[in-house]
Structures are given as structure tokens and as C-alpha cells.
Structure 1
């Protein structure tokens, strides 16, 4: 089994932001690769640590489809706030690359460069707007776009880093392969071994239960275990029911993922998931969760009819259809099926 094109859970927090991984996602197909973001080559005039953080900021933005100007804004912001260093301290409770304050997320989230980078782009856990939430940000001067997110006491300070940010971005682009430029990450090597030991007592029974959901969906029949219709439109509920629970206990997959992050049960190091694991994705605004069945397959709901031509339902598909197929979901990590 190959690895899924993955980006560890990234949540960008700035002076104001929010995390996103909730429960109305869709998914499906291909080989799977479990990969971490590429650290890239050293950048001129930056040390190894600063270079790695700059590469992460750009890779996260590219996974989110952020245009080049937004990537430059993020680089300039992190240069001003932390000198591109993942600080464990700052003014009052500010920490991390972007010196995001406590309402943006947990200490662990704000000091995890991919997560803090995603927060900068998409907003903080407390509902703070990220760069992509700012109306007209692409038409603003760089320092104004940065300030709209950071709400700094020094609103013009980002301007002095603009030339550097563009130079760093050009150098990063020059040092990445085309696949890395498009995907924002890389895979060191294929994982060709067996699946890790399963998290469920009977993986075959889990597969059979997932297949029963998929078969009922294909036939237009109600949930075979709980008798409900429309259940496939809520990914967190479907994942719970595949594991034998009527409800996930969360309003969304995002909230469920955040609970795993807070509890320390989230796995974001790029390691392959065991059968039975919950796979989380960071598409906005709700995120997505699917159940890993082993051998590169997941059971997932699907409501993106325009992209796939499907009517919506439950499907068992290869993992890469979620990340590299019609859905193009950014992978966050996996967690055990704790309910």
C-alpha cells in the first residue's frame, strides 16, 4: 500500500483565528500515501530552522489554493512576528510563528508550524478571521492584508519584509519539484509493509459493516442498522455508525478532530493509520472524517454530486480519491475511534 498525499493538521492562528475540521465532508479513491510536508532546501540568508518554517508556510498555503500574494503576506507576517521561528513565548500569551494568542487555539496547535500556518490563512479556533476571510485582501497593500489578520499595535511593520518575502517565495519555488509545488508536500518513500495492528477486534466485521452501509446506500435503502434516511450527509455520524455508535457526540468532524488534538490522541506525524482509525481532513467549513478499513480503503460519505456525477451516498474507495481525486481534501491526521 502506498501512502496518501497528506499534510499534517494545519491550523493557522494569527492575532485572531479558528481551526477547521468538521463533519459534512465527502470522499473517495486511488492508492494512498501517508506523507509529511517537505521541509525543502535551505533559503539564502535564513538558517535551517527558518528555512523549514518558510517552506511549511508556503506548502500549507499551496494546499489551500492560496495565490502567491497570500503566500508572500504569510511569509512577511511570520518574519515580523517571530523572525520565522516557532517561539514558545511572546507578548502576553502569544506564541508560534505568527504569535497567535490563546483564543486562536491550544498552545500545541499554535506552536505546530503547519497548524499555525493554516490558522493564518483560514482563521482561528475562536472564530477569528484568517487571511482568506478578509474581504478584498488580494487588492490591499501587503502590510494592510497582514494587519487585517494580526490586528497588531504596529500595523505598518510588515511592509519592510515584503521584498524578502517575495525573494523567499521565488527561492522556495525554485527548490521544489513540480509535484511538490502542486501538492505542497512530499512523500519520503512508499510504505510497502502490512497495515499497522488494527484498532478494532475484528477488521473483517468492520469491513462487512461498512459494506452494508454502502450496499444500502446504492439501493436507496435506509441505514441498515439504525433505519435512518439521509444519514450519509453527515460524515461524523456515518463514521460513528460504522463503528456501532448512533452519534459521534460532536456537531462536526472539526469539533471531533479538535477534541483529539486537545486530548493528545490525534496522530499528525504522517504515520500510516491502522484499520479502524478515523481519518480527518481539513476542508472548510466543516471538515471531513472517514473510517480506514485497511489495504488502502476507506468508507466515506459523498455529497459532491457535481464533481463526481454520483447522487450522494456511502462508498468504499481508495484513500487517494479523498486527497487527490474529485474532493482534493487536505489530510489532517488520524485518531482512534474513541466514542
Structure 2
């Protein structure tokens, strides 16, 4: 579906990850980061206190300004939340739906689509910019009916959010994309925190984000003495649970993978939005303006080598070789200390925190590390 990036906001907010936590000092400290134990689900953690300036109930938000949205925009958000409640959709789904409508229409019921390459207007309409095949125009222009379709699917069999396997564990941008099938699949990520705020406002509550969880659960770190290092690791940890996709990932987040002619193709990575191992490293370091190549052997060649494990610091990129030489390097992970790293391991897996990295075959394949931006 075409994107409508109209007169909306230029707000780009990195999601705030508040689940406890790693404590570390990166690039110059001997303390190691400690990963939080497994547990928790992605979603919205809300207090019962009304949001600042809130009327305390859905539909009473007209005239307020929440995360840059006000008036009928908040009324439409309240309708989206109300439909989610009526359909039994968990709060996480409300956030996905509101974030999607923020990107598609800036929470306005638009009776027009964008202009296509052939000069014609797209048939997409409404809060979610649903195409003709999703349903009658009147339904797509009805906030309640269009929201219900986002959750349950279109009239021509298009899957809704509730049809997406495991949607609750997916990042907002991935869950939204699997419904919308957008030409700009990464566009939804920036709306997660504003969506949390708006959902909190129309619910009369203040809400905060918890991340999509991988095998080790959602985590983040606080490094007041080294904010650049904090950014690197937290950008990687913010992607826990994102699908592995060979060739996927860039400086802005997960992307479609590419064909490899082998194992990754057998897993359909070319049709998945996600990261491979070097794509995750690239994304993490882009947060501090350091360019990391999207290829493991090129990463090894680009930076000075650290081969003594006792000198490693959380945030270093760990490289693994199948033959002990540079031409056998095939994997990279981001060191967390304490025998752990965050990585995008392989096809069929997700971004996760792995433990016991110095033992077994993995320990034997470790060839060294690099410290970009040191």
C-alpha cells in the first residue's frame, strides 16, 4: 500500500525501553553489562493515573495536544482503541493500530489517496489508507469500520492484525507492515512512542513502552558516563524478537532480506523484514554515526583487531570464523559482557541475547573482536 506522508509530523522518536536492565560501562570500563533475566511480553505498561491534561475517558480528548495530535485526531484514536476493546484485542494491538494510522493518515479520515507513478490517484482511503479490495468506500471512511478491518482483515481475504501469527511478539513496525504491505516497511517504527502516549491519553492513563522480546526478554542499559555506548547497545536491544533475514537491516532498522541461493532462500528470508548479523551491527552503530560494513569479513578488515578476550568491553563486535582465518569469518555479535552477546543468529531465528558464548563450537570459532568508533 502506498504511504501518505503528507502534512503530518516530523517527529522521530526512538522507542523508550523501560524494563530492567543491564548495568555496564562501555569502551573504557572494566565493569561488564548484566543482562536482565528472561521474562515479560512486549506491550504497554500503564499506570492508573490520568495522563496530564486528560479528561480521563476515551472520546473526551478533543482540544488537547498529545504527542502533537489533537481534536478529531484523538477522537479517531479513541475509536481505534474502542474497536480494539470490542474485539478483545490486547492493548499492544491498540498501539500497533494507532501507530499505523499515524503513519498512513496522521489520524485523519482521508477521502483521497496518494498520487501514483502513472499520475493517477491510488484507491487507498481512510485512517489506514485501505485499498478498494478491503471493502466499500463508506466502510473505509468510517473510523470504526476501518479500524475493525485493520484488526480482523479485509473483505477480499486480506489478513488483519489478529491473523498474523505471533503478532504480539513482533515489533510495532513489523506487525503493522504485515497487515499494510507497505512500500516503505520501516516507516511505522517512529510512531510507537507517540502511539503509546495517545493510547494512554484516550484511556485516561499514562503509558510507557516495553520492547518486543526475544529469547532473553526485553532489556536496556543506562550508561550516563558514556551516552554513545549506551546508544549502540540499546539500539541493538530495541530489536529483540525481530526476525532474522539474510541481507536484512540498514541504518534505519529492519529491511527485506535478499536471495542467497541456499539456506536463507529455503527459509524465505528474501520475503522477510528483519536483520542478519552484520545488518544488526550496522544499525546499532549508526546510532552514533559510525559506519559499519554490512558484511562480516569487511567488518574485520575495517577496524583494528582485539584478540585477547580479557581486553574486551561490552559493545565490541565479536567475529567468528569457520577456519580460524579472515576468509572464514561468517558471523558477528555485539558483546554484552558476562559471557553474553546480542545477535541475529541464523535463518529461522530472531534477534536475541545469547549466553555461554565462550564455550563449545562458538568459543572455538571466536577469531577476535573490533571496537568501531573507539
TM-score by length of 2: 0.36
The structure with the largest helix share of the pair is: 1
TM-score by length of 1: 0.40
Larger radius of gyration: 2
Higher relative CO (CA 8 A, sep ≥ 6), structure 1 or 2?
Answer: 1
